[in-house]
Amino acid sequence: MLQTRRISCNPFSCEYQRVRLRCAVASRSSQGTPSGPRRPRRKGLFITFEGIEGSGKSTQAQALAQYLRDKGFEVIETREPGGTPVAEHIREVFLRPTRELRSVDPLVPECEVALILAARSQHVADQLLPALKQGAVIVCDRFSDSTLAYQGFGRGLPLRELRSLTRWAAKGLTPDVTFLFDLPVSQGLRRRLNSTDVNRLDHETVAFHQRVRKGFLSLAQQAPRRIHTIHAARSAQAIAQELITLINPLLEQGLKARRLTVKHS
Ligand code: ATM
């Protein structure tokens, strides 16, 4: 008999997120239909970290990558914009502090998108697709959701066009799982502006960052199986533990075969 169990509806609860994650894996492993062609299967796993600045996502991405390495997986840590030599050059142009560019050459939103997509296409072709084909786990700090949140919701460029452009530049690649780090903009900016490497977008208005945050939350609502919202105004240890709790069922279900090297203690 099919048994059903009530789960918590609080999107920040671990149980709620674990059940959604299992659904996401199940839907991924049943891609294609008996009558239609199956999409070519990649072997690896593509995990992305998203969120507003100062949310702590980069630190947590590194910690999760280390956890997965310790479990014996081949892990590639990368970021966007960036990840290859050419894309890292583009990142420098994209993020150069405003005061260097403002008087001469402020970037218009369309130019921002063009730079981001140029970097992404190189990153996907040179780094992400080959690594996934080899069966690696990729932990990527930002990807297409950032383009929709920053250039779409933040700058006001049309989302439909952006979606189609990002799909094109990424050759259709979408993350298997995304962790969205959410916290109030004021807290994020305070953390961020205290750091040493402040970039061009950090100087945008609070209203801009509010739109970006709202955008991320709206994307999470639209893709609840893939995007897991992480309540980021908590201790780093609590967040790291939550990520491990969320990622473990995924590893158990789909990744055993992909373990490339086994570490011995
Ligand atoms: P990190 O600091 O998380 O590496 O991100 C760099 C900036 O790039 C971040 N800005 N701030 N503040 C968000 C921005 N960005 C976009 O605007 N669009 C994108 O598609 C991506 C990948 C990043």
> Which atom in ligand 1 lies closest to the alpha carbon of residue 143?
22
Half-sphere exposure of 88 (CA within 13 A, CB side): 7
Ligand 1 centroid, distance to 263 Cα (angstroms): 34
Q: Residue 179 falls within a domain, yes or no? A: yes
Mean pLDDT of 57-65: 96
Q: Residue 18 falls within a domain, yes or no? A: no
Higher pLDDT, 202 or 85: 85
Predicted pLDDT of residue 43: 77
> For the domain that residue 189 is a member of, what is the CATH number?
3.40.50.300
Instruction: Write the CA distances from 2 to 5, 7, 175, integer angstroms.
Output: 10, 16, 31
Overall number of domains in the chain:
1
Q: How far apart are CA 145 and CA 48, in angstroms?
A: 9
Q: Residue 233 falls within a domain, yes or no? A: yes
Q: Residue 19 falls within a domain, yes or no? A: no
Mean pLDDT of 187-194: 82
Counting residues of the chain whose pLDDT is more than 90, the rounded percentage is 63
Predicted pLDDT of residue 201: 83
Res. 100 pLDDT band, cuts 50 70 90: low
**pLDDT tens, position by position, 137-164:** 999 999 999 999 999 999 999 999 999 9
User: What is the pTM assigned to this prediction?
Assistant: 0.83
Q: Residue 69 falls within a domain, yes or no? A: yes
* Position 82 pLDDT exceeds 90: yes
Protein residues with CB under 6 Å of any ligand 1 atom:
53, 79-81, 95, 116, 141-142, 146-147, 150-151, 199, 201-202
Full domain range(s) for residue 147: 54-254
Higher pLDDT, 50 or 261: 50
Q: Residue 20 falls within a domain, yes or no? A: no
Mean pLDDT, all residues of the chain:
82
Q: Residue 265 falls within a domain, yes or no? A: no
Q: Residue 123 falls within a domain, yes or no? A: yes
